[in-house]
Structures are given as structure tokens and as C-alpha cells.
């Protein structure tokens, strides 16, 4: 989402770094470009003005102008103010469940913002990560099949959903859900309210009536990040009329300009608690202001990368591969396992988005037309091989290559490329087993196939 903003800020800061000393006019010129970049990213005008004023007050001080690395000092000041604008330093705020169970959580927002999907994502997150017993209930009696949608999501993810009673109105459903959650010994009750295509009086009165009936401990506004400034206006309206305790920002993985995320905290005073980063049920992350600021400024997000790796990499599989690498062994089954893990972490682009200082490499990847679907194709090719072929690729001759290509929906050239890549990786593994840890560090580049700019042995 922040790619365009990150690129423009990166250009501004690159010029600052190249200058040995900065004058007041240098800083003013740079901040003028930062202001334009933020406005183009759809950040609210009052937020931009406050941000630039705060940065300028510190950036033109003697501490910066006399600094040994003034460019870096300005970047640090921009970073600190960006963190403050997004919600402050420290750990991200998660859903507050510090209340007597069942804890009612009210999900509000406009139609199409992703409320129902986000409700199911939050329920799955609470159920798997925090071991909470969660009940979901749909109060949307207006949109066709809205209640059935939540029911299906519940069945897909093994999350209990309040049974549908035809003709029952939202407030009555909410009261029945609360009673069912108490009797069933649930820890959390998630209430998915109805939305409208725009803010109207009927919507606000209904949400307020549900709020008064269940007294939710959290009222989470679900907003679509791709709607830009309109999402900020929606957040402001819901906060003033209903009282919002936190924001869930959906479609953060899209190509929006990021202005909504940068403006919401400043405009509403309410924290962005969670962000939706994909369609899958587990594609939900805690919003960490500091980590997001680092991503925007091209500093990477190593902590999130490590967390993502810890969640996706299976310990037993990693230990098995490590033992094989120490022996210099690496067959096509091992390669398939590595491709699967890389894809789980979001593919090459997903990993690179979290690495610091890889903007230029990403540009090279785009120019080289490195296709993300290559991982899936490679997995399909390996999946079309027999067990013997995966263990001993040397037996794969011309006729077998044709069969594998036909079975995987690829070409013989694709099969040849994969076999060549595997041979290079297998050779590297043999060398790593002899070189030890230093050899491993030097050879890391070859682990991400087809990536320009990585070191080669």
C-alpha cells in the first residue's frame, strides 16, 4: 500500500544523505517535497500541516544543522513524528478483552468494508492465538445472504455462529446472542452489524440501539483502506455518533495510497488495532505504528519478518532440512518444502517488503519481470514427478520431462530451468556443509531463486 509514498520519501532522503552539511533552506526544500508526497498519498490536510510543522521545528534546529550526519538526523525526526502520528512508540494495541466474559465486541462500518470477513478473521485469531471460546452473531437482516455468509465462514473455520431465526430484528438478535454466550460459557461474543452504502440516520440509530442493548467492551470500526479520505470521514462520523474504541483497516495489501492509515489516528484519536493483509482467514495482523513507519521510510521490518517466519516455518521440517544440509544432501522434495515455506511467507515480494534497503532490488525485480507465480509453477512441476524422480533427478530424461511438463501444465523449458536451479542449490548445499556457518551466510542469496542483485558463489 505505501509503495508510492515510500518511493517518493526515499528519493527526498537520498538527496539529503548525499549532502555533507545542510542549510535551513535545504531542510525547508526537503520538507516541502515531503508535504507534497503526503498530500499525494491522500493524507488529510490538517494532519499533513501538523506533521510538517512538528518536523520543521526540530529539523531546522542547531542540533541537526551541526550534526555529523545531518541527513540522517532529519530522517530520524521524520521517523519519530511518523510513529507519533500513527499512534506512538511501543507495542501495537490489540483487542481489549479485560472484562467479565462473555466480552461483547461490536463490529461496525459501511457495507462492503469487509465487516463480516473481519469478524471471522478476529474470531479465528482469538480462538487460535489466545485460546478463547468465541461466538459470532450476524445482526445484518437487510443484505441478502449476509447471515448465511457469516455462518459459512464459521463452518469453514470451526467457529460457532448463533443460529438464524427468521424475522428477528438486530436488537433482539444481539440480546439473544448475549444470553446464548453466557449460557454457553463463551469468552468473547462478536456482533457483526449491518452496514449501508453511506452514512445515514437509520444506520446510526440502529447501531446505537444495539450498543445500548449489549454494552460492548470494544466497538471496532471496520474501514476499507482503499477508500482513502472517505474512510477517515466515516471513522469520524462513527466515532462521534456511536463511540469507537478501535479501528480495523482492511485491504492494506492493496494498491491504495495509504492516506487513510496515516490520517485515522490523528483525526479520531482512536488506535488502529488490526490490519487485514489478504483474503485468507489468517491474514490479519496487529497494527504496530513503529514497524509501519519503518516500512514507509524503507527501513524494513525485521521483527515482523521473524514473527512471520516463526509462524509459518515448521520446526520439525526446518530441523530435518538442517540435518540434511549438514550432510550435503538436498533433493527435489527439500526444494519443494523451501518453495512452500517461501510462498507461505508471502512470496519473494512479501519477504522483501519487510527487508531494509531493498527498494532498488525491488525495482530490478520489476524491470526483470520476476513473476511471483513462478513459485506455484515450480511446486506443480515437482508435484508431477514420481517419488524416485524427486529423490534422484538424474533419471529425468527427455520423455520424462515431456510427461512432467504435461502433468504440471508447464513447458519442457520450465522443467529444465527448475532442474538447473535445483542442481545449483544442491551444489551450494554441498559447499555449505563444508564451509560451515560462514559459508551459509555467503550463500543466502542463492536461496531466493531468480532474485537480481543477490550475491553469487
**What pLDDT, in 10s, does the model give residues 354-364?**
554 445 545 55
Nearest Cα neighbor of 228 from 256, 249, 250, 196 is 256
Phi and psi angles of residue 132, each rounded to the nearest 5 degrees, phi first: -95, 150
How many angstroms separate the CA atoms of 405 and 394, rounded? 16
CB 134 within 8 A of CB 188: yes
Q: Is 322 helix (H, G, I), strand (E, B) or coil?
A: helix
Angstrom CA distances, 339 to 55, 147, 232, 370, 389, stand at 44, 38, 39, 15, 18
Residue 205: burial class (beta carbons within 10 Å; 0-12, 13-18, 19+): exposed
Query: For residues 196 and 184, is the Cβ–Cβ distance under 8 A?
Result: no
Query: Are 301 and 354 within 8 A, CB to CB?
Result: yes
Put simply, whether the predicted model's pTM sits higher than 0.75 gets the answer: no
User: Could you tell me the pLDDT band of residue 175, with boundaries at 50, 70 and 90?
Assistant: very high
Q: 413 or 89: which carries more pLDDT confidence?
A: 413
Give the CA distances from residue 62 to residues 13, 26, 55, 65, 297, in Å, rounded to whole numbers and listed in that order: 19, 14, 14, 5, 24
Residue 377 to residue 366: CA distance in whole angstroms:
19
Tell me which of 136 and 431 has the higher pLDDT: 136
Average pLDDT, the chain: 76
Helix (H, G, I), strand (E, B) or coil at 284: strand
- According to DSSP, the β-strands at 188-192 and 103-108 are parallel
Nearest Cα neighbor of 157 from 181, 130, 134 is: 134
Which of 51-55, 71-75, 122-126, 271-275 bottoms out in mean pLDDT, i.e. has the lowest? 71-75
pLDDT of residue 158: 92
pLDDT at res. 303: 46
CB neighbour burial string for 415-424, b if at least 16 within 10 angstroms, e if fewer: bebbbeebee
d(CA 223, CA 37): 23
In the chain, % of residues over pLDDT 90: 17
| Side-chain-facing half-sphere of 346: CA atoms under 13 Å | 19
Contact call for residues 255 and 1 (beta carbons, < 8 A): yes
Measured CA to CA in angstroms, residue 342 lies from 32, 374, 376 at distances of 40, 12, 11
Q: Is residue 299 helix, strand or coil?
A: coil
Q: Which long-range contacts (CB under 8 A, 24 or more apart) does 324-329 make?
A: 324/429, 325/429, 325/432, 325/433, 326/433, 327/433, 328/429, 328/430, 328/432, 328/433, 328/434, 329/429
CA distance 342 to 313: 9
226: Cα separation from own chain's centroid: 14
Cα separation of 413 and 423, whole Å?
Answer: 15
What 3-state DSSP class applies to 411? coil
CB 412, CB 440: distance < 8 Å: no
User: In sequence order, which residues have a C-beta less than 8 Å from that of residue 70 and are 6 or more positions away?
Assistant: 16, 19, 21, 22, 64
DSSP 8-state code for residue 163: P
Residue 320 pLDDT class (50, 70, 90 cuts) = low
Overall average pLDDT of the 198-226 stretch:
87
Q: Kindly give the residue spans of alpha helices, DSSP state H, lying in 217-314.
A: 229-241, 259-268, 289-296, 302-312
Is residue 137's pLDDT more than 50? yes
- The pLDDT tens digits for 36-81 are 878 877 777 888 888 888 888 777 665 555 555 666 777 777 778 7
pLDDT of res. 2: 61
Length reported for the chain: 457
Amino acid at each position: 500500500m505505501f509503495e508510492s509514498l515510500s518511493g517518493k520519501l526515499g528519493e527526498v532522503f537520498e538527496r539529503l544523505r548525499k549532502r555533507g552539511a545542510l542549510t535551513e533552506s535545504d531542510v525547508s526544500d526537503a520538507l516541502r517535497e515531503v508535504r507534497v508526497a503526503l498530500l499525494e498519498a491522500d493524507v488529510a490536510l490538517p494532519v499533513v500541516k501538523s506533521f510538517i510543522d512538528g518536523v520543521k521545528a526540530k529539523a531546522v534546529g542547531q542540533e541537526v544543522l551541526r550534526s555529523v550526519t545531518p541527513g540522517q538526523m532529519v530522517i530520524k525526526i521524520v521517523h519519530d513524528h511518523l510513529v507519533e502520528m500513527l499512534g506512538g512508540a511501543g507495542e501495537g494495541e490489540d483487542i481489549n478483552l479485560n472484562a467479565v466474559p462473555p466480552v461483547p465486541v461490536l463490529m461496525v462500518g459501511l457495507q462492503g468494508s469487509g465487516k463480516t470477513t473481519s469478524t471471522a478473521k478476529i474470531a479465528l485469531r482469538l480462538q487460535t492465538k489466545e485460546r478463547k471460546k468465541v461466538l459470532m452473531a450476524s445482526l445484518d437482516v437487510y443484505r441478502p445472504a449476509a447471515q448465511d455468509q457469516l455462518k459459512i465462514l464459521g463452518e469453514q473455520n470451526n467457529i460457532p455462529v448463533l443460529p438464524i431465526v427468521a424475522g428477528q430484528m438486530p436488537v433482539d438478535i444481539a440480546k439473544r446472542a448475549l444470553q446464548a454466550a453466557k449460557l454457553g460459557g463463551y469468552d468473547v461474543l462478536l456482533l457483526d452489524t449491518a452496514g449501508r452504502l453511506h452514512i445515514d440516520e437509520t444506520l446510526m440509530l440502529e447501531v446505537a440501539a444495539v450498543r445500548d442493548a449489549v454494552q460492548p467492551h470494544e466497538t471496532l470500526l471496520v474501514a476499507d483502506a482503499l477508500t482513502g479520505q472517505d474512510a477517515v470521514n466515516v471513522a469520524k462520523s462513527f466515532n462521534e455518533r456511536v463511540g469507537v474504541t478501535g479501528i480495523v483497516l482492511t485491504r492494506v495489501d492493496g494498491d491504495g495510497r495509504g492516506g487513510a492509515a496515516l490520517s485515522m489516528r490523528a483525526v479520531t484519536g482512536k488506535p488502529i488495532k488490526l490490519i487485514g493483509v489478504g483474503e485468507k482467514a489468517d491474514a490479519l495482523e496487529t497494527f504496530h505504528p513503529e514497524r509501519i513507519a519503518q516500512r514507509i521510510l524503507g527501513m524494513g521490518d525485521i521483527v515482523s519478518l521473524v514473527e512471520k517466519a516463526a509462524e509459518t516455518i515448521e520446526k520439525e521440517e526446518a530441523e530435518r532440512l538442517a540435518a540434511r544440509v549438514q550432510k550435503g544432501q538436498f533433493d527435489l522434495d527439500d526444494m519443494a518444502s523451501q518453495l512452500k515455506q517461501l510462498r507461505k511467507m508471502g512470496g519473494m515480494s512479501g519477504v522483501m517488503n519487510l527487508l531494509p534497503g531493498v527498494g532498488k532490488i525491488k525495482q530490478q525485480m520489476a524491470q526483470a519481470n520476476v513473476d511471483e507465480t513462478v513459485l506455484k509453477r515450480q511446486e506443480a512441476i515437482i508435484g508431477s514427478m514420481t517419488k524416485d524422480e524427486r529423490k534422484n533427478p538424474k533419471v529425468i530424461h527427455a520423455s520424462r520431462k515431456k510427461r512432467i511438463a504435461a502433468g504440471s501444465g508447464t513447458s519442457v523449458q520450465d522443467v529444465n530451468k527448475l532442474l538447473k536451479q535445483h542442481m545449483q542449490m544442491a551444489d551450494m548445499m554441498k559447499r555449505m556443509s563444508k564451509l560451515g556457518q560462514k559459508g551459509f551466510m555467503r550463500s543466502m542469496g542463492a536461496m531466493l531463486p531468480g532474485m537480481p542483485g543477490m550475491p553469487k558463489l
